[in-house]
Structure 1
Amino acid sequence: MTKGLVKEIGIGIALAFVGFLIWQGYDILPLMFLFGFFAAIYFVAESKGLVKPVGVQEVTNKNINEVYFDDIGGQASAIKELKEALDFIKNYEKIKELGIRPLKGILLLGPPGTGKTLMAKAAATYTDAVYIATSGSEFIEMYAGVGAQRVRKLFKTAREKAARLGKHNAMIFIDEIDVLGGRRGQNSSHMEYDQTLNQLLVEMDGLKNHDSVKVLLIAATNRADMLDPALLRPGRFDRHVKVDLPCKDGRAEILKIHTRNKPLESDVELKEIARETFGFSGAHLESLANEAAIYAFREGMYKITRKHFKDAIDKVIMGEKLDKRPNTDELKRVSVHETGHALMSEILKPGSVSTLTISPRGNALGYMRQTPEDDTYLYTIDYLESQICIMLAGALTEELIFGNRSTGASNDFEKAVDLAKRIIVSGMSTLGVVSEDTVPKDKMHDVITEIIREQEARVKNSLLSYRRKIIEITDILLEQEQLSGNDFRILVMENNEPLEKVSVS
């Protein structure tokens, strides 16, 4: 429950209580006098800066550990761009000679968990500024004018705190600014949103270079498309800094930071873990290191091993292991299904299987996790068709062994259709270069079906010669519940049976 909601409920209860007293015939004048007396005291205390505004988190060197840019990994480009903007504040006299106008606002853009808040704190440390943090939701309430008042108070508080501490810089950080700064006119029944945003624009326009306390506004969002254009124009948020998901080297750097206080076994290779965590944010990697330490603690070990990190990756991606366990027939079908995925993955790309398990996690009864060779941002038609083959292999292996399929493949089919659609909209299908919006639905369906059926034929032809091997691996998986990629490859290569390379061109 937010502070604003608590306040609204409290006001409602107070009014209801006063109404009840009036209905009972009580004289409420003494009560009103007492209320006015305390309200006056609160107003004086707030005007003197003795009361912190609702939703504002004041951070100074006295009450928080300083955050430095060196504490943030995987964001070298974003940090470099942010530091350049902050240098305009640190070297004010020098840039004044060159006629450079210091920036009023910096907007941090990027997915959740990438370190936007940490970067704002590090920016305050870098410029020796008073740091005041809040969020967009703290300014929006049902009462007209409350949000605008809080915006005025926020900037006033920043200046007063900086002056009191003898500092020349103050930094205001607004997280999730899309709540406060959404496009005007979208909430016709609630003008409070527009009034609050208008007040923020006025305050930003009022920031002067010659002020004794220079205020810099830093905001963060992962929905830049929702922001009002007036916020994004030069003179307000002058600099937009992209804080994206880290690359492989960045992930290794982040893992190094989060394992500094953790004892690691000699078999732990952070670069290998970074390679297996494509798409992880900094928050995911912090959780990964913490979960690995928890696994070591559960086993009574004093060092974190490679296996603990492997299990932690599965937990972060899929969730914790579940107590539910399928019956014998279902478990065997799950084992066959996941073996099919893994076998097809190894056929198409040897060494790609990382883990194979039939332990239920999240919504999955089992899963096969691949190890990406490197971070990939562009996909060829060969790669997309290979992934479709792997998605289809689970159901087709069930059909090969049991003679039918199950509902367990529904999520695989959804992913296969999405990949086929990507082939079409990327201009790599028989339709050529097309727009998804202009292609008739029946035509789109026909081409998707054509792509899926072509890959089905390839998968069936490939798996047919491995029927006996699938049964052998299934029995071992049922017994052990989990196989590492190396163990799986050893089992596949037994009896000198090389994997057939399937062409997907």
Structure 2
Amino acid sequence: MNENDKQPDGSGGPGGNPWMKSLLVWVCILLGLALFVTVLGGPSATATGNTVPYSTFLDKVNEGTVKDVTISREQIAGTLSSGEKFRTVPIADPTLVPTLREKGVTIAAQPAEGGSIWVALLYQSLPLLLFLGIAFFVIRQMQKNSGSGAMGFGKSRAKMLTQKEGRVTFADVAGIDEAREELEEIVDFLKDPTKFARLGGKIPKGALLVGSPGTGKTLLARAIAGEAGVPFFTISGSDFVEMFVGVGASRVRDMFEQAKKSAPCIVFIDEIDAVGRHRGAGLGNGNDEREQTLNQLLVEMDGFDANEGIIIIAATNRPDVLDPALLRPGRFDRRVTVPLPDIEGRLKILEVHMKKVPVAPDVDARTIARGTPGMAGADLANLVNEAALMAARLGKRLVSMAQFELAKDRVIMGTEWKSLVMTDDEKRMTAYHEAGHAVVRVHTPASDPIHKATIIPRGGALGMVVSMPERDNYSYHRDKMFADLATVMGGRVAEELIFGHEKVSSGASGDIKQATKLARAMVTQWGMSEKLGMLMYEEQQGETFLGYSQTQRHNISNETALAIDSEIRALVDGGYDKAKQVLSDNIEHLHRVAKALLEFETLTGDEIKRLVAGEDIDRDAPGAAATTVPVSGTSIPKTRRPKGPFGSPAPQGA
């Protein structure tokens, strides 16, 4: 049978499910055994006639009505004078034969069956044979799942990636140019090794790709394989770990043996932190299986037996937990950081994915890139896909900017709460709360421009004011920090001014949290307090627990701790006072924006600026639709908000 005759399920025949075929074979074997036993044990069952008691048989003999008998160990069968057949069970009767001879009965004897002992043994061994057959079948299936042969547990699970379909090159990788350039050197070496060996240079044995989830680490590795045109083995770090000690180390050895046969080649280990964690760092005893696997990996990468032509590329988003021996030169020589893309990188990524989607002429990729800070490449790909799905549901032939805006809201902020019913008082409170954020942001020049404001519930908030930075910010100035403190307090201040101190709501809980974190970072990490000076009182920790980053407070006195709390309070109060001054001086602007939110539910940044300038909104005017964002709620969850200067979500309103 050639390769073309094989079925998609790998059976090699029509409809050949391997599991069903094995089960059918064992059923046939058991049926054959049962038939064999039946045939061997059949002589006694082939006798015909009515069964009569032995006393009745003797009476028939004495009456002279028995014509002939056949005597065996199991039974006595015979024929009456009338031709009727009968049979009976014999007993130890020494007078039977003389009586039969006296009455003239023809006597025949049937020899004992020699195979009766084996038949009994077969009958008794049937349950055992059935159990052994099922056990053998189960073990065989386990071996197929874990590897071929009896020693399949120790075989490598690395898969060779072919380039026949889905070939990826560096042209498909956008937004991470620096990381791509570092890895192009590896491609050059694989294409022409003598170019580097001529001057005595050695290519790095391994490259560690480090970055947040979704930044394109696996895509980069596939692009290297696609550009170099060499065998590419891929495996996950968890594939090495088993419950049996020594299995992971055996799989590492087998993986490198396979790679040596295909050298030069690339071995890509995804999520290497599953097997490469720091040895002895756990609580209690270490994991012997994982540590043995790591030891074998260290030896194979840089031991006495050099593996020439094998380049190891690994990916992780937890470099802080890796063992130092794994990161030293000679193993992972090069550490390539794959960062979140900046605005230009996001623009390039969007353009790559938009080539696969028919987009309308009104789509502005740069505007989408500006409104998606903090998004990784996978997030942007999902955004384009969501927009295409939304356009398809609406029966559109092209994906317009409206669908991209709605898709961005869904990806970043969550699904709109269509089933939530708000009272008029709650709607009015929310409108003034968001209007407070918007008016303070407009009147503080250091703040980022407003993109939109909405009072439609989406995700985890009843409303939201979303900003759109002109560019990505990598450092923040003091004036912007104070502007953000004032903006984030604008919602609570607006509630107090309009509804009174006793009627404020809990809607400012997220604002208070953001303001506190920003003020704490300004005091304890950035030296923004004149009273405490430029000293580090707290520092951010690399590891996270349950999704929250940890901070470590240095050893400080009680007086210093009280001073820190006092300075944090002073900064937050300063933002509150600034927001109160802005809204008190521009109370008419607050009313105009709030009333417009109650009427339209969603306002764009340009519309808010026109309201503050004293102009009216006319959405029916020609050209107004081009600047209007579709009515949709915007509420940014914690996990995907644009990052602020202290690593937490940027103040956006609640």
| TM bracket (short chain) | 0.7 to 0.9
Which SS does the other structure have where 1:287 is aligned? helix
Normalising by structure 2, what TM-score? 0.66
Q: 1:45 & 1:229 partners in 2: Cα distance?
A: 32
Which SS does the other structure have where 1:348 is aligned? coil
Instruction: Encode CA deviations 1:225-283: one digit per residue, 9 max, x unaligned.
Output: 11100000000001111110111111111110010022222222212221221211111
Which amino acid in the other structure matches residue 433 of structure 2?
H
Q: Is 1:408–2:408 an aligned residue pair?
A: no
Q: Which residue of 2 aligns with 1:338?
A: 434
Q: Residues 329-478 of structure 1 correspond to what in structure 2 (within 5 A)? A: 329-349=425-445, 352-404=449-501, 405-424=504-523, 425-430=525-530, 431-436=532-537, 437-439=554-556, 440-478=560-598
Which amino acid in the other structure matches residue 157 of structure 1?
Q
Q: 2:527 & 2:264 partners in 1: Cα distance?
A: 52
- Deviation (angstroms), 1:118: 0.3
Q: Is 1:193–2:290 an aligned residue pair?
A: yes
Q: Which residue of 2 aligns with 1:16?
A: none
- Deviation (angstroms), 1:343: 1.3
Instruction: Encode CA deviations 1:174-230: one digit per residue, 9 max, x unaligned.
Output: 11111110100124252212111111111112597785xx22110011111111000
Q: Which residue of 2 aligns with 1:492?
A: 612
Q: Which residue of 1 aligns with 2:603?
A: 483
Question: Which among 178, 198, 212 is matched to residue 77 of structure 1?
Answer: 178
Q: Structure 1's 329 and 209: CA in aligned 2 closer, same or farther, altered over 3 A?
A: same
- Deviation (angstroms), 1:395: 1.0
Q: Residues 113-262 of structure 1 correspond to what in structure 2 (within 5 A)? A: 113-160=214-261, 162=262, 168-187=263-282, 188-206=285-303, 211=308, 214-262=309-357
Q: Which residue of 1 aligns with 2:59?
A: none
Which amino acid in the other structure matches residue 398 of structure 1?
E
Which amino acid in the other structure matches residue 480 of structure 1?
F
What percentage of aligned pairs have identical amino acids?
A: 38
Q: 1:49 & 1:60 partners in 2: Cα distance?
A: 27
Which SS does the other structure have where 2:607 is aligned? helix
Q: Which runs of 5+ in 1 are unaligned?
A: 1-23, 163-167, 497-505
Instruction: Encode CA deviations 1:386-410: one digit per residue, 9 max, x unaligned.
Output: 1111111111111111113211111
Which amino acid in the other structure matches residue 143 of structure 1?
F
Higher relative contact order (CA 8 A, sep 6+): 1
Q: Structure 1's 494 and 156: CA in aligned 2 closer, same or farther, altered over 3 A?
A: same
Q: Is 1:61–2:181 an aligned residue pair?
A: no
Question: Which among 127, 141, 148 is matched to residue 46 of structure 1?
Answer: 148
Q: 1:250 & 1:239 partners in 2: Cα distance?
A: 23
Which amino acid in the other structure matches residue 259 of structure 2?
A
Question: Which among 391, 395, 412 is matched to residue 317 of structure 1?
Answer: 412
Q: Which stretch shifts more, 428-437 or 236-245? A: 428-437
- Deviation (angstroms), 1:42: 5.9
Q: 1:25 & 1:465 partners in 2: Cα distance?
A: 96
- Deviation (angstroms), 1:420: 0.8
Q: 2:173 & 2:182 partners in 1: Cα distance?
A: 14
Q: Which stretch shifts more, 423-432 or 202-211? A: 202-211
Q: 1:36 & 1:67 partners in 2: Cα distance?
A: 40
- The structure where helix makes up a greater share of residues is 1
- Deviation (angstroms), 1:138: 2.0
- Deviation (angstroms), 1:53: 5.6
Normalising by structure 1, what TM-score? 0.85
Which SS does the other structure have where 1:483 is aligned? strand
Which SS does the other structure have where 2:209 is aligned? strand
Residues 151 and 196, structure 1, Cα contact 8 Å, conserved in 2: yes
Q: 2:421 & 2:199 partners in 1: Cα distance?
A: 70
Q: Structure 1's 80 and 351: CA in aligned 2 closer, same or farther, altered over 3 A?
A: closer
Q: Which residue of 2 aligns with 1:287?
A: 382
Residues 49 and 157, structure 1, Cα contact 8 Å, conserved in 2: no
- Deviation (angstroms), 1:45: 7.7
Q: 2:138 & 2:387 partners in 1: Cα distance?
A: 56
Residues 88 and 103, structure 1, Cα contact 8 Å, conserved in 2: no
Q: 2:463 & 2:347 partners in 1: Cα distance?
A: 28
Instruction: Encode CA deviations 1:317-344: one digit per residue, 9 max, x unaligned.
Output: 2111123232222122111111111111
Which SS does the other structure have where 1:118 is aligned? helix
Q: 1:285 & 1:60 partners in 2: Cα distance?
A: 27
Bigger radius of gyration: 2
Residues 351 and 485, structure 1, Cα contact 8 Å, conserved in 2: no
Q: Structure 1's 34 and 292: CA in aligned 2 closer, same or farther, altered over 3 A?
A: closer
Residues 127 and 169, structure 1, Cα contact 8 Å, conserved in 2: no
Q: Give the length in aligned residue pairs.
A: 464
Question: Which among 390, 400, 413 is matched to residue 305 of structure 1?
Answer: 400
Which amino acid in the other structure matches residue 475 of structure 1?
K
Question: Which among 213, 222, 227 is matched to residue 112 of structure 1?
Answer: 213
Q: Which runs of 5+ in 2 are unaligned?
A: 1-124, 538-553, 617-654
Which SS does the other structure have where 1:390 is aligned? helix
